[in-house]
Amino acid sequence: MQNRMDKEPSIVVESVTKQYTAGKPIFTEISEEFRPGEAVGLTGPNGSGKTTFLRLLSVNTFPTSGQVLYGGQNIHEKPWNYLQHVGLVHDEESLPTYLTAVELLEWVLRARNAWDENSEGRISELFDRLELDESRTDPVGTYSTGMKKKAQIAAALIARPRVLVLDEPLRGLDVTARKRAIELFSEEVNRGAIFLMASHAGEELERLAGRIMKFPLEQEPVPG
């Protein structure tokens, strides 16, 4: 496993600054590296920049300066190449409402050319583990917040992506579902995925994550 992880690309954040308004940076000159099999937790108060950071890593926002590389490629220059490897729980809970959760996962697998004779079984198993019961065959539009979150988590995991970018994936889940989700996340980390998760669930995050990034991020001291 360690050998395989060594061959997988890392995410390298190089001197990234992001500001929505000139002169008011959310973070400045951030440099980080996220390696395969590494679980990173993002914590901090509301508005401290966690979601912005994850939106950068999911190509939903673009850096003001600096770049983010995956396998040496700038993810904002070649989003499609990168996003093929990404499983995403977005900060929005919106999903296509007229599909069932099962169809949603089928779409993900087919879109990633990963649909095969075992896929239906894997979808069932994943929903069983997340305890999304018979409602998995109802349209997503009928779901509660927690059920939507389960569908989002399942959609992020089903294609076994190399990178997981999860923004508050536990929000709205009941205690059992949170436990199940954490188990699934641990398995993904052990499988070698780069795992980034923002959450206010402090204890759970600390148990899962090997490294915690505290927001707002400290600016690197300028030498001299």
Partner 1 sequence: MNEMKLPEQNSIANRLSIGLTALLAGTLFFTMVRDADLGERVVAMRYFLFGMAGLIAFILPYLSFPDRKTVWIQLLNLSPNSIWRHYLKGQRMVWGIGLVPVVVIALGGTEWPEGDLADRGLLLVYGVLFLTGLWLYASTRYLQVGASSQEWQEGEKGREARQSLSAIAKYPVDPGSIPSLLVSGKVSVLGMMGVVSGAFLNAFFGLAGEAGIALLMALAGLAAARLPARSADRFFYRTHAFFGEFFGSGSDAGSGREPVRPHQLWWIPVRWTAHSWAFTLQLDRKIPAGRWVALGHLFVWVVAYQRPGEEAMYILWLLFALLHHTLLLFTANASLAPVWWLRHLDRLSEWVWTRFWVQVRWLLPLLASMALMMGLFGLFSWSMIFQAGLFYLGTALLAAVLIHLRHERRWIS
Query: Distance between CA 162 and CA 147 in Å, rounded?
Result: 24
Q: Which is nearer to partner 1, 92 or 203 (CB)?
A: 92
Alpha carbon distance, N-terminus to C-terminus of the chain: 43
Question: What are the φ/ψ torsions at residue 150 (nearest 5 degrees)?
Answer: -60, -40
In this complex, which beta carbon is closest to partner 1, that of residue 30 or of residue 59?
59
Residue 61 CA: distances (Å) to CA of 17, 20, 81, 215 = 12, 10, 17, 18
The residues, ordered by sequence, that sit 6+ positions from 112 with a Cβ below 8 Å of its Cβ are 84, 159
Residue whose CB is less far from partner 1, 153 or 205? 153
Q: What tokens appear for 98 in the block? A: 């007229």
**Contact set with partner 1 (CB under 8 A):** 55, 58-62, 79-80, 83, 86, 88, 90, 92, 94-99, 103, 107-108, 110-111, 115, 138-139, 141-142
Shortest Å, Cβ 108 to partner 1: 7
Cβ of residue 210: shortest distance to partner 1, in angstroms? Answer: 26
Q: Give dist(CA 63, CA 13) in Å, integer.
A: 10
| Distance in angstroms (rounded) separating the CA atoms of residues 76 and 57 | 9
Comparing CB distances to partner 1, the nearer of 109 and 173 is: 109
Q: Which is nearer to partner 1, 103 or 131 (CB)?
A: 103
Least Cβ distance, residue 163 to partner 1 (angstroms):
12
- Minimum CB separation from partner 1 for residue 129, in Å? 22
Minimum CB distance to partner 1, residue 215 (Å): 19
State the minimum distance, in angstroms, from the CB of residue 99 to partner 1. Answer: 6
Q: Residue 190 and residue 2: Cα distance in Å, rounded?
A: 10
Residue (15 or 97) nearer to partner 1, CB: 97
Tell me how many degrees the CA angle 75-5-68 measures, rounded to the nearest 5: 15
